[in-house]
Amino acid sequence: MADCLRKNLLIGIGHPLLDMTATVEKSFLLEYNLKENDAVIMSDNHKNLQNRLLERYEVAYTVGGSIQNTLRIVQWITELPNVTTFFGSVGNDQYAKILYEQALLDGVNVRYKYISGEPTGTCIVLITGENRSLCTNPGSSKYFDFAHLLTTDNQFLLDTAKYYYMGGFFLNVSIETVRGISKLAAKGDRQFLFNLSAPFICYQHRDVLLELLPYVDVIFGNKSEIEALSSCCELEGSTIDETIVLLSNWKKINSSRLRLVVVTQSEEPVLVGIDNRVLQFSVPSLKNKIVDTNGAGDAFVGGFLSQFIQDQAIETCIKCGIWAASQIIQQIGCTYTGKANFQI
């Protein structure tokens, strides 16, 4: 364990969700106008989706929520309790108890805000072959507010952390919180790490993202999300590599650090843009071992951050991200067994 590891090094703020995972036919997706490898917020079109799913398929329940999953992976790899702290809101129900107990068991310092009268959020994960489609009912997770972070205890945690990690989905919860955290990071010379979450987030919150981007030290996204962001920024890169370089060079509040742009492409190489160049990292084929790709992106970021917060080389961060994702896709949901055996 590196000497630089300590408690409360990394703070994540996001949606605590209970994942409900089932393997279904493509026709089931079509019934609810859902697409493979997409993520949507539950709407009126999906009112009876959960009931139909429970009636027709075997459903597995696992801890979910992208940011929380990523922190759990960081804990798994670093092995030091409470290196990470998680903020989010849940209901006063059994689902919240399951999430809390599992996160504690995984070593995360959990700082939930409890919302009376609202259920804990859920994410329905529909697996078709090697693909997955997500439909989220945010429930109580959408009632988080910035004031929860301003209590004396929580303010202390914010002040003593070095890294803040958030995702685009949270822009649908509290723009004030995302904006406040980005500015707090800049003010305290902390690193603000941001996951784009989904292409529609980039279009839905274009103006806010353009405001936030100068504060972001590391951008995470898949190829579709990066292309959506570049469109919102009106960048003119003719290739994905050119686009990545343009995003990495976008204006930045803290000019003492270069911006990293980390792009995943499923089984294609991971791309990293920094300092006018793009690095490529191959991804080993595991086609015969894939069980569930949901959580692969969360695990990749978790593996990356487990090394990044220890000041390891970018190559090591990426390799650990790829390794972590390769472990998770062999399980249902973002779950793992035994000790992490990643070696630099």
Tell me which DSSP letter residue 164 carries: E
Tokens of 11: 């703070």
CB 71 within 8 A of CB 108: yes
CB atoms within 10 A of CB 100: 18
3-state class percentages of the chain: helix first, strand second, coil last, to nearest 5: 40, 25, 35
SS3 213: helix
Task: Please give the distance of CA 320 from its chain centroid, rounded to a whole number.
Answer: 16
- Residues marked active site are found at 298
Tokens of 3: 């000497």
Q: Residue 297 carries which side chain, given as an amino acid letter?
A: G
Measured distance CA(20)–CA(28) in Å, rounded: 15
CB atoms within 10 A of CB 276: 9
CB 294 within 8 A of CB 132: yes
